Amino acid sequence: MQILDNRLIQLVIVMVIFLVFTVLAKLIYDKLISDDGKSINISRILPEDEVHSLRQVFYLILMALCVVNISYTLTVSKIDFPYLAIFDIALSLYFAAALDKSSTKGKILWLLVVPYGSLSYLLFNSGYEIFLIIIHILAFIYFAKQSFDKFMEYTHSNGLGITIILLFTIIFVSFFVTQYSENVNPLDSLVIASNEFTGNGYSVFGDTIAGKMNSLLLVWGGYVMSGVGAATLTAAILTRHFKKEFKELRELIEEGDE
C-alpha cells in the first residue's frame, strides 16, 4: 500500500510539473508569434522556394523525431537513457504546447503525451508502469502520422514535389545504419551522418554534448544558408534577365508608337 501511495504521489507530481512546463512553453510560443507583429517573418528573409522546402523538411523532421523517440524508448540502453529522457521531455513538451487543449481530444492527447517514464527517471530515479510507457508511444505514433499528413497537405496545396522524401529517407536510414555499424550513441550518429551528408567528413565533431550540438547547428545552418544563397543567386539572375527583356520590349513598343 505504501508503494502504491508513493507511485500515485509521483504520478501527480510528474503531471503537475509537466503541466507547468506546458503552460510556460505555450506562453513563450504565443509571445513569439504575436509580439505586436514584430515576430520574424521567414518569408521576408528567404526566397519563396527555400521557404517551401524548409516547411516540408520541418514536417518530415517532426515525423522522424517521433519515430526515433519510439524506437529508443523500446531499445535504448541505461547508459544513454538520461539523454533520451531529456529528448523525450523536450519533444513531448513541443507537441503538448501545440495542442488545442480546449477540446476533449486535446486534453486526452495531453494526458497521453506526458513523459511519465522520463520525468519519473529524472526526478525520482525510477521507472514507470509499462502501460504508461505504451500509451506514451501510441501518442507519438499519432503525432508521427499527423506530421506526415501535414507534410502531404502542405505539399499538395502548394503544388510542390515530394522528391524531398527520398533525400530525407537517405539521411534517416543513414542515421540508424551509422549508429549500429559504428557502435556509437544516437547523438554521435546524427552528427556523423550530418557531416557526411553535407560533405564535411566526420573525423572532428566535438567531445562534449554542447560541442556536438554546436557542430550540428553549424553543419545544418551552413547547409541551409548554402541553399538560400543558391536560390537567391538564381532569383537575382532571373530577375536581371527579365528586367532586360522587359526593357527591350518597352523600347520596341515606344519605337512603334513613334
What does the pLDDT read at residue 37? 47
Count of domains forming the chain: 2
Do 80 and 142 fall within a single domain?
yes
What does the pLDDT read at residue 4? 46
Q: Which helix (H) or strand (E) holds 122?
A: helix 116-124
- Is residue 192 included in any domain, yes or no? yes
- Is residue 53 included in any domain, yes or no? yes
Do 26 and 86 fall within a single domain?
yes
- Is residue 170 included in any domain, yes or no? no
What does the pLDDT read at residue 80? 58
Do 124 and 9 fall within a single domain?
yes
Do 157 and 192 fall within a single domain?
no
* Tens of pLDDT, residue by residue, the chain (258 residues): 455 457 788 888 889 999 999 999 888 877 776 655 455 566 666 666 667 777 887 888 888 888 888 887 777 655 557 778 888 899 999 999 888 878 888 888 999 999 888 888 888 877 666 778 888 889 999 999 999 898 888 888 877 666 777 777 777 777 777 777 777 766 677 777 666 666 655 455 555 555 555 555 555 555 555 554 454 445 555 556 556 666 666 666 666 655
Q: What are phi and psi of 187, to 5 degrees?
A: -65, -45
Q: Which domain holds residue 194?
A: 185-258
Do 21 and 136 fall within a single domain?
yes
Do 100 and 207 fall within a single domain?
no
What does the pLDDT read at residue 1? 46
What does the pLDDT read at residue 171? 73
- Residue by residue, what is the 3-state secondary structure of 129-147? CHHHHHHHHHHHHHHHHHH
- Return the number of other C-beta atoms located less than 10 Å from residue 136's C-beta: 23
pTM here? 0.69
What does the pLDDT read at residue 71? 80
- Is residue 167 included in any domain, yes or no? no
- Is residue 171 included in any domain, yes or no? no
CB-side neighbour CA atoms (13 Å) of 110: 21
The residue among 131, 162, 193 that closes a domain is 162
CA angle 47/51/57 to nearest 5° reads 145
What does the pLDDT read at residue 143? 93
Please state, in angstroms and rounded to a whole number, the distance separating the CA atoms of residues 48 and 160: 12
